[in-house]
Amino acid sequence: MAENTLRDKVAVIGGGAKNLGGLLSRTFAESGAKVVVHHHSSENDAQETVKAIQDAGGQAVAVQGDLTKVADVRRLFDTAVDTYGGVDIAVNTTGMVLRKPILETTEEEYDLMFGINAKAGYFFIQEAGRRLNDHGKIISIGTSLLAAFTDGYSTYAGGKAPLEHFTRAAAKEFADRYISVNTVAPGPMDTPFFYPQETPERAEFHASQAMGNQLTHIEDIVPVITFLATEGWWFTGQTLFPNGGYTTR
């Protein structure tokens, strides 16, 4: 059986420069993984994350790319293979939030949201399935809104919803290579992505729905992803909802 630790593993982190992805990149590196830090437009954050990893004695490289473009997804994994000789773990933390009524949503906004949240997620899983070593791990970041009955998030939650089926299908198709595929669906996270979409009153309401009247913190999600990438390898085809009771199903 393969060793289920991060030591000497190669991890590709989509959106790995800052916030959840940045903490995940640094945490994986601290546990001995070699990390490919993807970013789209966060060059400074990506370089800071790579430098922090290298200063701590780890190995990391930054790669810029637009994951809605299949060529950029492939180049991301090419870089991992060319730099470190292979890929063992692929985590896609990328996404885009929009809170807007259906009647006000434009075609351009719909295409943008589904491009980032669904298309990029699909081809990230596809390329990971092609390039990962046997016993690999693929993890996508969804949203707990998949289990909520709410307004305003039709294109965000709708764009993330396909990840669940992509995950189930890939888990079956990659099972003969012992590659596990899962989605982690956090509650509303206390990051800069959340607040521009909400009024202070609605942000307070979201927080009130979880234990301790708080939003989800990235520090609470990284251990879940780390578990799935290591000892939790027997989970596959699943969507996990770490959200402090914000919603469930």
Q: Where are the alpha helices (DSSP H) in 31-161?
A: 43-55, 70-84, 107-114, 120-131, 154-160
With respect to residue 247, please indicate whether it lies within any of the assigned structural domains: no
- What is the pLDDT, as a whole number, of residue 1? 53
Winning range, highest mean pLDDT, from 114-123, 193-202, 207-216? 114-123
- What is the pLDDT, as a whole number, of residue 173? 98
Instruction: Provide the pLDDT confidence category of residue 198 given band limits of 50, 70 and 90.
Output: confident
Q: Mean pLDDT throughout 145-150?
A: 92
- Of the chain, the percentage scoring pLDDT greater than 90 comes to 85
Please determine, for residue 196, whether its predicted confidence score (pLDDT) is greater than 90. Answer: no
Please determine, for residue 62, whether its predicted confidence score (pLDDT) is greater than 60. Answer: yes
- 132-141 and 180-184 as β-strands: parallel, antiparallel, unpaired? parallel
Please determine, for residue 179, whether its predicted confidence score (pLDDT) is greater than 70. Answer: yes
Please determine, for residue 193, whether its predicted confidence score (pLDDT) is greater than 80. Answer: no
How many domains are contained in the chain? Answer: 1
132 within 8 A of 92, measured Cβ to Cβ: no
Catalytic residue among 84, 122, 153, 156: 156
Instruction: Provide the pLDDT confidence category of residue 212 given band limits of 50, 70 and 90.
Output: very high
With respect to residue 40, please indicate whether it lies within any of the assigned structural domains: yes
- What is the pLDDT, as a whole number, of residue 118? 98
- What is the pLDDT, as a whole number, of residue 190? 83
With respect to residue 66, please indicate whether it lies within any of the assigned structural domains: yes
With respect to residue 4, please indicate whether it lies within any of the assigned structural domains: no
User: In sequence order, which residues have a C-beta less than 8 Å from that of residue 205 and are 6 or more positions away?
Assistant: none
With respect to residue 5, please indicate whether it lies within any of the assigned structural domains: no
Q: Indicate the average pLDDT of the chain.
A: 95
CA distance 40 to 36: 13
Please determine, for residue 116, whether its predicted confidence score (pLDDT) is greater than 90. Answer: yes
Active site residue 156: yes
In this predicted model, what pLDDT tens digit does every residue of 70-97 receive, in sequence order?
Answer: 999 999 999 999 999 999 999 999 999 9
Write the CATH number for 64: 3.40.50.720
With respect to residue 3, please indicate whether it lies within any of the assigned structural domains: no
Instruction: Provide the pLDDT confidence category of residue 209 given band limits of 50, 70 and 90.
Output: confident
With respect to residue 248, please indicate whether it lies within any of the assigned structural domains: no
Residue 37, classed as helix, strand or coil, is: strand
Question: Model-level pTM?
Answer: 0.95
Better-predicted residue by pLDDT, 178 or 150? 178
The residue segments making up the domain with residue 51 are: 10-240
With respect to residue 1, please indicate whether it lies within any of the assigned structural domains: no
Please determine, for residue 155, whether its predicted confidence score (pLDDT) is greater than 80. Answer: yes
137 within 8 A of 235, measured Cβ to Cβ: no
